[in-house]
């Protein structure tokens, strides 16, 4: 393939897609299935974070980072809801 193909998605689109994929995981299952689904959701979360943090603009970085951190926390709660129970 000689021609480079590029595409772009907005932060909002990437976050929505990540949330949809995490919600598709069967995180209410038990045993080995839960481990597998939790790992899948965690991989989606990690991939989302790497893409958005590396694509964050350098101007207004602190404000952008605050938004990313808030969304990361929200997605983490979807991925591992039991970590919120104390």
Residue 69's closest CA among 37, 58, 27, 77? 77
Q: Tell me: the pLDDT tens digits for 28-42?
A: 889 999 999 999 999
pLDDT band per the 50, 70, 90 thresholds, residue 7: confident
* Helix, strand and coil in the chain, % to nearest 5: 70, 0, 30
User: Quick one: what percent of the chain has pLDDT higher than 70?
Assistant: 94
Q: Tell me: the pLDDT tens digits for 12-67?
A: 999 999 999 999 999 988 999 999 999 999 999 999 999 999 988 888 888 999 99
Query: Is it the case that residue 86 has pLDDT exceeding 50?
Result: no
Q: Which residues of 11-23 are buried (b: 16+ CB within 10 A; e: fewer)?
A: beebbeebbebbe
């Amino acid at each position: 393939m000689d021609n480079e193909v590029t595409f772009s998605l907005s932060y909002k689109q990437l976050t929505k897609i990540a949330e949809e994929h995490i919600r598709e995981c069967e995180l209410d299952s038990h045993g080995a299935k839960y481990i597998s689904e939790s790992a899948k959701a965690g991989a989606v979360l990690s991939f989302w974070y790497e893409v958005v943090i590396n694509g964050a603009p350098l101007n207004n970085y602190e404000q952008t980072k605050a938004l990313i951190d808030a969304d990361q926390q929200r997605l983490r709660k979807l991925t591992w809801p039991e970590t919120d129970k104390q």
